[in-house]
Amino acid sequence: MEFARWHWLPRGRVISGFILSVCGCAQLAPPDAGPIAPTPLVESTEKTETNTKSNQVLPISLDTVLHLAEEQNAQIGQARERLREAYADKDLAGKKWLPDIYVGLAYYRHEGGIQNEDGTLLHSSHGAMFAGMEIDSRLDIRDVAYEKVNAQRKVWQQKGELSRIKSETLLEAANTYIDWLSARAGEVIAHEMAEKMRQLAEKARKTADLEPAAKVEVFRVQAELDGQQQTIEKLRSQAAGAAAKLVYLLALDPATALVPVEKKLVPFEIVDASPATNDLVQKALAEGPGVKELDGLLTLVQESIDKSKGFAQFLPIFEVRMAEGGFGAGPGDRMDWDNRWDLGLQARWNLTHCLTQHERQRAIMAKVQQAHLAAQDLRGKLTAGVQEARETIISSKGQLDLCLTQIRNSEETYKLSFSRLENLPQTASFTETLLAIGSIGRAKGNYLGVINSLDKAQLRLLVLLGGPGPNGVK
């Protein structure tokens, strides 16, 4: 008897260090603040996703992602089919007591010597033929009970495997969707930063025309602009990669072009993380992925052990064989026919079971202990996962205001620096303005990273507490 292994739920990947450290988040709309990055994706980005005639454009949201992943993902589909197979095997095991019934013909022919009862040799020639039905049955109560329990165990295992695969796949698809939005948002911010650098580069060229010594500033700004263009390309590639992975996870046509319904990447709340950690842990231990399935498996194993200690262990193995049909026989080629009916009954005990009782009991108890340890490990992982997700949610919420303040301060710094560069050039420098632009990117990147972590922690906590509802996100 094998027991299912319960793997840790994936946490998902943050899309890239470029987003978190260089670019920032576009179209981020916190509840109490105005839009930080108000511009939509640049036209070239939209055209690559929607203006390809060979592509099928599919608007998609987080709720759609969860629906399609559950309904169409190939791995979830395979797990469902394995569960159906386990149910079919269980039904077959329930009919294990049925005898084998055969219908057919048999012919026997003998030519030559045969030995008499007194040992003498006799030459004979005869044949026989049988046409009819035969019923053959071997009934071992213990074997039938074991087959039923084993089939039920496989059903519980496949239920647990389906629960695990579904939870991991839904979480991976949702995280990929968030990463996709993050990359698109980062690309928009990278374009905004590039536009500010172009303005600064134009200002540097005008200054260099008047003051040749300022030519070095032109090259410095242009170098930063080139680096920003490289970042834009990397983010565009990351967005395309995330979209391709999402198409795969949702089992869509590879030519499908996804268009997000959500135009803003916002911190959402689909799970209330305010209750005490112990309350959330208790909910996860009662309704988390794999809990009910593993508890059902443990109950089944314990019940089978209790039943094996009853009177059934002393029952014999019953064998029945019955055949009836037309029987023809005679010397040489002659065939005389009559109806023939044979019945054989047998009851026997396998004494070897008594000699190996101790060893078999040790093996059973070892497997039971494995199941209990698997349950203990699952509970520990669920507990740790809930604690980590809750702490991430609370910490991220606390960081949002700090990030917004950082964004406002960095934008104000840029405005003042650029204004001083235009009005009081003797007291300002292009390097200072470049640093201010970089500060905006880092501030928005921090904000994007916090939202990315917050949303993924919300999704992870949702899965750990029992997963999305029947109509999608709760």
Q: What is the pLDDT of residues 358-388, one digit of tens each?
A: 888 888 889 889 889 989 999 999 999 999 9
Q: What angle do CA 355, 358, 360 make, to 5 degrees?
A: 95
- Neighbouring CB atoms inside 10 A of 79's CB total 21
Contacts of 63 (CB under 8 A, 6+ apart): 472, 473
- Separation between Cα atoms, residue 297 and residue 160, nearest integer Å: 9
Q: Judge contact between 430 and 220, C-beta under 8 A.
A: yes
> How many helices (H) and strands (E) in the chain?
11, 6
User: Residue 55: what pLDDT?
Assistant: 65
Closest CA to 390 of 267, 265, 279, 266: 279
Query: Residue 463: its pLDDT value, please?
Result: 92
Among 443, 417, 431, residue whose Cα is nearest residue 22: 443
Domain segments of the chain as ranges: 17-95+142-316+354-464
Q: How far is CA 170 from CA 3, 281, 288, 365, in A?
A: 24, 21, 14, 36
pLDDT at residue number 21: 36
pLDDT tens digits for range 249-291 = 999 999 889 999 987 788 988 899 999 999 999 999 999 999 9
Q: In the CATH hierarchy, which fold is given to the domain comprising 17-95+142-316+354-464?
A: Outer membrane efflux proteins (OEP) (1.20.1600)
pLDDT digits (tens, 9 = 90+) for 82-132: 999 999 999 998 888 888 888 999 888 888 988 888 888 888 898 898 898
Give the model's pLDDT for residue 415: 93
- The pLDDT, as a whole number, for residue 262 is 83
| Helix then strand then coil, % of the chain, to nearest 5 | 60, 15, 20
Give the number of other CB atoms < 10 A from CB of residue 226: 12
CA 369 to chain centre: 27
Find, among 191, 262, 264, the residue nearest to 34 by Cα: 264
| pLDDT score at 468 | 65
Strand partners, 107: 129
Rounded-to-integer distance, Cα 406 and Cα 436, Å: 12
d(C-alpha 418, C-alpha 196), whole Å: 10
Sign of CA dihedral 59, 63, 65, 71: negative
Residues 6 or more apart whose Cβ sits within 8 Å of residue 203 = 421, 422, 430
Predicted pLDDT of residue 434: 92
- What CA–CA distance (Å, rounded) separates 225 from 219? 10
Please state the φ and ψ torsions of residue 62, each to the nearest 5 degrees: -60, -40
The CA angle 420-439-404, to the nearest 5 degrees, is 105
Residue 436 burial class via C-beta count within 10 angstroms: exposed 0-12, middle 13-18, buried 19 and up = buried
Task: Cite the DSSP H helix spans in 211-276.
Answer: 215-249
Point out the residues of the chain with pLDDT beneath 70: 1-55, 468-474
Residues 60, 350: Cα–Cα separation, whole Å: 64
Structure tokens at 4: 């299912």
pTM of the entire predicted model: 0.77
Q: Is 330 left (phi over 0), alpha (psi -120 to 50) or beta?
A: left
Alpha helices (H) along 253-290:
277-287
Per the document, the length of the chain is 474
Does residue 12 contact residue 175 with C-beta atoms inside 8 Å? Answer: yes
Residues 6+ apart with CB under 8 A from 252: 58, 68, 72
* C-alpha to C-alpha distances, 87 to 5, 92, 102, 473, nearest whole angstrom: 20, 9, 27, 29
Please state, in angstroms and as integers, the Cα–Cα distance from residue 329 to each residue in 125, 306, 341, following that order: 11, 54, 15
**What contacts 375, CB < 8 A, 6 or more positions away?**
294, 295, 298
